[in-house]
Amino acid sequence: MKNTLIQWRRHWSTWTIIGFGVLLFFVAIFAELFQAPPLPPQEITKMVQNPIPSAAIEKMIELKMTNKNGTFILKNLNPNYESSGPWLMESPQKTKVKSGVVEKIIKSLDSLYIRNIHRLEPINLKSFSLDKPSCEIKWTHPLSAPLEVKFGLINPIDNSLYFTFSDQKWIYQSTLPEATFDQIGLNDLIDTHILFIQTDRLVKAEIWKNPFDIPQISIIRNNDGWMSEDGQQFKTDKVLSFFERIQKMKSYMILDKVESENQPSLQELLIKPAYKLVFTYTDRLETYFLSQTTDHIGSLKFDKGSSFLFYSQGSPTPLIISKEYLSSLLLKPNDLR
């Protein structure tokens, strides 16, 4: 009986070892068959480089950025679409973009240093918060289809950032860029000098005063420079001086957050503007409104006393400008002759 028990144990041990060996064999076969094929060295080198080509961001027609602060659409007014601009914000407020802001964004995109790469899979998209990006930047290049970068999780441990780029099949882990894309808002983008007049593309400039029956003044381009609506010639230096003067108008506050109790007072100002500025360009039309002067909106008091609101058609975010700049618009045709 004792010998039988010993033999049984020996057989059991032998079969256990054989079974374990067979299991390891099949596991090895499975791993060999189903593992991802190794990447050639040149492909690995290519992937750890910044996937955003410098040539793709040297020129832009339009840039659209979406983050927690909203969606901002910027249009490049440079005739050659060079990233230096100047840039005009199309939405949510039509106004001049602060100098150097877009260039900083482009520089940050160009200087991303790749630390690691991960496969573009649903589990990774969720793990790195790319299923709900903190920021999306999309731009149009003159010679290619629209390109897009989506930014996800910021890893505070090693100060890295995860992002995807257009149709690339990888998730990239990079160093933190100079620009904090997810934090950029209106205050960062809007230039305090609210107007940018492209005189080389301007066809007509008009100032209308309430009740807007006829324009207070029209400045129309002709072969000899500029003229009035009735064909009277204006002096070019006086016209350009006027354009320079109104481009000096500066806002000191963005009215992007208004308490509900102050909304009725705000809407009353917006629906009854005092002035309207219309600029007709060869490629676009820009319309701006100026409200009646006031030193408050409901319980909101203005820091600089009597001021007016400056806003583009359909804009939810008026700018507040000191009353002193209104004198720039008190212009008569004879002032330009």
At 188-224, the pLDDT tens digits run 999 989 899 999 999 999 999 999 999 999 999 999 8
Q: How many domains is the chain built from?
A: 2
Q: Is residue 331 part of a domain?
A: yes
Q: Are the C-beta atoms of 149 and 164 separated by less than 8 Å?
A: yes
- Based on the fold, state whether residues 143 and 206 are members of the same structural domain: no
Q: Is residue 82 part of a domain?
A: yes
Q: Is residue 11 part of a domain?
A: no
Cα separation, 134 vs 117, in Å, equals 19
Residue 99, C-beta contacts closer than 8 angstroms, at least 6 positions apart: 85, 86, 191
- Based on the fold, state whether residues 180 and 227 are members of the same structural domain: no
Q: Is residue 194 part of a domain?
A: no
- Based on the fold, state whether residues 255 and 209 are members of the same structural domain: yes
- Token look-up 């200087």 returns 111
- Based on the fold, state whether residues 135 and 230 are members of the same structural domain: no
* pLDDT tens figures, 147-156: 999 999 998 8
Q: What's the confidence (pLDDT) of residue 13? A: 58
- Based on the fold, state whether residues 69 and 151 are members of the same structural domain: yes
Cα separation, 192 vs 249, in Å, equals 8
Whether the per-residue pLDDT at 252 is higher than 70: the answer is: yes
Whether the per-residue pLDDT at 34 is higher than 50: the answer is: no
- Token look-up 């190794």 returns 38
Q: Which amino acid is at 100?
A: G
Phi-psi category of residue 17: left, alpha or beta, with phi > 0 → left and psi -120 to 50 → alpha: alpha
- Based on the fold, state whether residues 174 and 249 are members of the same structural domain: no
pLDDT over 90 percentage in the chain: 55
Question: What is the span of the domain harbouring residue 73?
Answer: 54-189
Output the CA torsion sign for 105, 111, 113, 118.
positive
How many of the other CB atoms lie within 10 Å of CB of 94? 20
* Total residue count of the chain as it appears in this document: 337
Q: What's the confidence (pLDDT) of residue 247? A: 93
Cα separation, 253 vs 295, in Å, equals 13
Q: What's the confidence (pLDDT) of residue 328? A: 85
Task: Look at residues 136, 168, 189 and tell me which one is the last residue of a structural domain.
Answer: 189
Q: Is residue 144 part of a domain?
A: yes
Long-range (24+ apart) CB contacts under 8 A made by 308-315 are: 308/274, 309/255, 309/269, 309/270, 310/194, 310/249, 310/251, 311/93, 311/270, 312/93, 312/94, 312/95, 312/286, 312/287, 312/288, 313/94, 313/287, 313/288, 313/289, 315/92, 315/93, 315/94
- Based on the fold, state whether residues 94 and 148 are members of the same structural domain: yes
Secondary structure element (H or E) that encloses residue 75, with its range: strand 70-76
Q: Which amino acid is at 208?
A: W
- Based on the fold, state whether residues 95 and 144 are members of the same structural domain: yes
* pLDDT tens figures, 271-298: 899 999 999 999 899 999 999 999 989 8
